[in-house]
Amino acid sequence: MAAPAHAIDVSCLEVAPGDPRPTTETASEALRRTGVLAAQDRLERSGRGQAGAGTTVAVLSSGISGAADLPLGPGGTSVVGPGPVVDPTGTVVAGLVAGPARDDDLPVGVAPGVELVDVRVYDTATPTQEGQEAPDAAALADGLAHVRDRVPSVDIVVVPLQVPQDDRVADLVSDLVEAGVLVVAQGGDRPVDLVGEVAADAGSGSLTALATPRPDEDAGPLVHPAALPGVVAVGPLPEQVNDPLRSSALDVVAPADDAVSVSLEGGHCVLDDNGSSAWSTGLVAGVLAMLRSAYPQAEPEELVARLVATADGRPDVRSPLTGAGQVQALAALTATAGELRAGGYAGDTDVPRPSIAAAAPEEPEDLLATTRGSAVWWGLLGGGALLLAVLARPLLARRR
């Protein structure tokens, strides 16, 4: 059936304040591709509730528009002053994490049960008016400090932006990781696509060093906070971006396009042909929120183990373009402890580990274990007797 005239797909980045609410009949290919749809269905059928329920995610970005009708909780702030939200990044990322399903029951966010905390750390990537603030490390540090002061009321922090190395940012991220907060950050975009390009004279650690692709490049040490220990660094699928960064810090990747989210004016919009790792970061933060709600007693490192060990690449042999591979939400949700260990995830990133590497949340008690064990032993004894008879037959025949 053809889509009605008012349902023409609109890019999330093209909706400005005051525009009509967009609408779309497009389903999120990104959710299908990452196994999120199947994982959401599994959670609902298991009786464990809505994905993300009971989990709080702080979004440190350009602000979340009040018109977006997203599940905002208390504790938000703007460290760059008042004023309307004009940049769509924060709203779009928040929609990818926790956007409610549409009226046609098509999912939007990965974990719609999440409660969001809006921490606005910049106004717009490209300021056009006096007083507007672009992303920088100082404001990001202020936002991180705001979240740290509210621990343990925040479970996950998502940072869909990148800044150069900064000691205060590093200290605050370390505090959050030590407190058990999961920090998810974008692994990096080239400066031409940056959310807040760094000035050319910013020094040897400047992100502008990544403007020109080089065969031997490593964005890992330059892109912060993704480079920091304990941070889950997320990249886009390489085929969805022009000249993707190569990074030793990359943990996993997720689609950067073919997703549906929420615009500045509410309604639903599409992400297509943009390829920012900010969108991938939102999706992965949503998957971690889903895992947190499914395994509320698990340690943060156990949730990261699920995420990384079940990605579709090699967790023990990381790719500079894809890390451990694309996230697989259903596999991350359902993997057993043995499957996680078999996946090769044994402390191969900077994320702190428990004493038992790659331990998964405790599995349900096997009520038939004793009966099954007895059956196995009887089977082994019977099989052993048969094997001895077969082996002894030639020997007995020679004796006759």
Local confidence band at 121 (pLDDT 50, 70, 90 cut-offs): very high
Judge if the upstream peptide bond of residue 152 is cis by omega within 30 degrees of 0.
yes
Between 346 and 290, the more confident residue is 290
Alpha carbons within 13 A on the beta-carbon side of 156: 38
Nearest Cα neighbor of 254 from 182, 317, 329 is 329
Between 395 and 240, the more confident residue is 240
Q: What whole-number distance in Å separates Cα of residue 379 and Cα of residue 381? A: 5
Q: What whole-number distance in Å separates Cα of residue 198 and Cα of residue 245? A: 16
Helices (H) and strands (E) in the chain, counts: 10, 9
Write down the pLDDT at residue 344: 56
Alpha helices per DSSP H over the chain:
29-33, 36-46, 89-98, 137-148, 167-178, 277-294, 300-309, 329-334, 337-342, 369-399
The torsion defined by the Cα of 22, 25, 28 and 32, in degrees rounded to 10, comes to: 170
Residue 295 has pLDDT above 80, yes or no: yes
Alpha carbons within 13 A on the beta-carbon side of 224: 26
Q: Could you report the per-residue pLDDT of 327-369, keeping only the tens digit for each? A: 999 999 999 888 887 765 544 334 433 322 333 334 433 433 4
Decide: helix, strand or coil at residue 30. helix
Write down the pLDDT at residue 343: 64
247: left (phi over 0), alpha (psi -120 to 50) or beta: beta
Nearest Cα neighbor of 9 from 278, 283, 277, 261 is 261
Which of 204-208, 259-263, 386-390 shows the lowest mean pLDDT across its residues? 386-390
* Mean pLDDT of the 157-180 span: 97
Q: What is the mean pLDDT of the chain?
A: 83
Q: CB atoms < 10 A from the CB of 80, how many? A: 21
Residue 315 has pLDDT above 60, yes or no: yes
Between 94 and 273, the more confident residue is 94
* Mean pLDDT of the 35-61 span: 94
* Mean pLDDT of the 268-296 span: 93
Residue 221 has pLDDT above 80, yes or no: yes
* Mean pLDDT of the 61-76 span: 96
DSSP for 260-321? EEEETTEEEEEE-S---HHHHHHHHHHHHHHHHHH-TTS-HHHHHHHHHHTSSS-TTS-BTT
Write down the pLDDT at residue 205: 60
Q: Which residue do the tokens 């025949």 mark?
A: 397
* Mean pLDDT of the 136-147 span: 97
- 89-98 vs 277-294: helix crossing angle, rounded to 10: 30
CB within 8 Å of 156: residues ≥ 6 apart: 55, 56, 57, 58, 181, 182, 183, 184, 285, 288, 289, 292
Between 383 and 216, the more confident residue is 216
What sign results for the dihedral spanned by CA atoms 81, 83, 86, 91?
A: positive
Write down the pLDDT at residue 113: 97
Distance of CA 179 to the CA centre of its chain: 19
Local confidence band at 165 (pLDDT 50, 70, 90 cut-offs): very high
Write down the pLDDT at residue 198: 41
Write down the pLDDT at residue 376: 43
pLDDT-above-70 percentage for the chain: 80
Residues 137/185, Cβ–Cβ less than 8 Å: no
